A and B are shown apart, each in its own frame.
Chain A
Amino acid sequence: MATTQVNPTRMELTRLKRKLVTALKGHKLLKDKRDELMRQFLDMVRENMTLRQQVEEGIRAANQNFVLASAVMNEPALQTALMAPKQSVTLDIAYKNVMSVEIPQFSYHTRTSNPHDIYSYGYGFTSADLDDAVKSLAEIFPQMLELAEKEKACQMMAAEIEKTRRRVNALEHVMIPDYQEKIKYITMKLDENERSTQIRLMKVKDMMIKERIEQSRAQA
């Protein structure tokens, strides 16, 4: 596949050989990176799936409770009950480097430490179903956050794996064979040159000898 022309010189040959060594080294490293990423990804994505199923189930249950609550209470009362939340959540984001993928890690803290602050309303005028609903949502929330972390990590790792795989394939099937082909071409060309020089020298020598013989014959 020597589509591009190369100069059959020794300098070019050394340059190409050096490039081939680098490409082989890079190929090995990238392959290792891909394999390790894949291993971690498969573990992570399994966790992701189970978490997602849990969270979806939890949210479904919570929604059921909310529907119940809204059936018992009238709309304005429900809205005012949740209008001014007492609790607020802030998120701390740290980054973890997994095979050069920057994965975010979330940890949250609530503004107040009292777990009952999720009920932002007086109990007098609201239905108990609303309490249940809010409680079920609060229970699933830590898992929701974990899901966010895992799912984001999976998405980023999947993209990185795809990229790495492309690079590995490009090196393995295009770059490295190409270099090998060029190196072979140059060595063959150089050998050929060497042989032709040798033949020429031999011919010249033959001619010189013949000349000498004829000279000495003429003298005799």
Chain B
Amino acid sequence: MANIAVIGERDSIYGFAALGLDTFFVQAEEEVRQCFHQLVGGGYGVIYITEAAASLISEEIEKIKMQAVPAVILIPGVWGNTGAGTANVKKSVEQAVGSDILFHN
């Protein structure tokens, strides 16, 4: 049994509360980090985090990539898509294959 969390700026994620996900509104870098650390050990299976918030704590996210749970998934915020999510997918292709042979554009 696990829960699903959403981290990000209020305007980007307040709607997820209606679906029954746990939303955490954060703004400053320190807040994001603290919140993230709490959630990683807090029995969450999936953590959705907005690209803007994720860019502040990319090292922390990188650290738990090999752990099976939680899965940290980037979602675009209300201010548009920065492309960080797709860049992440490309990065894992690069890591596995050596160079990006699938989505090079």
Residues of A whose CB lies within 8 Å of any CB of B are 38, 41-42, 45-46, 48-49, 52-53, 55-56, 59-60, 62-63, 66-67, 70, 78-79, 82, 85-93, 95, 102-104, 106, 108, 110-111, 118-120, 133-134, 137-138, 141, 144-145, 147-149, 151-152, 154-159, 161-162
Taking the complex as formed, is B26 at the interface, i.e. its CB lies under 8 A from any CB of chain A? no
**Which of B30-38, B52-60, B84-92 is near enough to bind chain A?**
B84-92
Which listed residue, B4, B45, B102, touches A49 by the CB 8 Å rule?
B102
Which listed residue, B18, B66, B96, touches A85 by the CB 8 Å rule?
B18
A55: which B residues are within 8 A, CB to CB?
75
Query: Can you list, as one digit per residue, whether each of B55-93 has a CB less than 8 Å from chain A (1) or not (0)?
Result: 000000000011011010101111011000110110011
Residue from B18, B19, B66 having most chain A Cβ neighbours under 10 A: B18
Complex: how many Å from CA A152 to CA B68? 7
Complex: how many Å from CA A103 to CA B69? 9
Q: How many A-B Cβ pairs are below 8 Å?
A: 143
Are A89 and B21 in contact (CB-based, < 8 A)? yes
Are A45 and B102 in contact (CB-based, < 8 A)? yes
A63: which B residues are within 8 A, CB to CB?
12, 76-78
Are A106 and B76 in contact (CB-based, < 8 A)? no
Which listed residue, B3, B19, B71, B95, touches A87 by the CB 8 Å rule?
B19
A52: which B residues are within 8 A, CB to CB?
85-86, 89
Given A49-B102, A106-B46, A154-B92, are A93 and B2 also a contact pair (CB < 8 Å)?
Answer: yes
Which listed residue, B15, B69, B76, touches A93 by the CB 8 Å rule?
B69
Min CB distance A31 to B, Å, is 15
Q: Which 10 A-B pairs have the closest CB atoms?
A: A152-B71, A88-B20, A87-B20, A158-B92, A158-B96, A91-B45, A161-B96, A89-B20, A91-B2, A158-B95
B48: which A residues are within 8 A, CB to CB?
144, 148
Are A103 and B68 in contact (CB-based, < 8 A)? yes
A91: which B residues are within 8 A, CB to CB?
1-4, 45-46
25 chain-A/chain-B pairs, Cβ below 8 angstroms: A45-B92, A49-B102, A55-B75, A56-B75, A56-B86, A60-B81, A87-B20, A88-B20, A92-B2, A102-B68, A106-B45, A106-B46, A108-B4, A110-B20, A111-B20, A137-B16, A138-B18, A138-B19, A145-B46, A151-B73, A152-B68, A152-B73, A155-B65, A155-B66, A158-B95
B68: which A residues are within 8 A, CB to CB?
95, 102-104, 152, 156
Complex: how many Å from CA A87 to CA B17? 9
Are A134 and B15 in contact (CB-based, < 8 A)? yes
Given A104-B68, A144-B48, A151-B89, are A56 and B81 also a contact pair (CB < 8 Å)?
Answer: yes
Are B17 and A82 in contact (CB-based, < 8 A)? yes
Complex: how many Å from CA A91 to CA B81? 27
Complex: how many Å from CA A80 to CA B51? 26
Min CB distance A5 to B, Å, is 36
- Given known contacts A55-B75, A92-B1, A111-B20, what 8 new A-B pairs fall within 8 Å (CB)? A45-B92, A52-B85, A82-B18, A89-B19, A137-B19, A147-B73, A155-B65, A158-B93
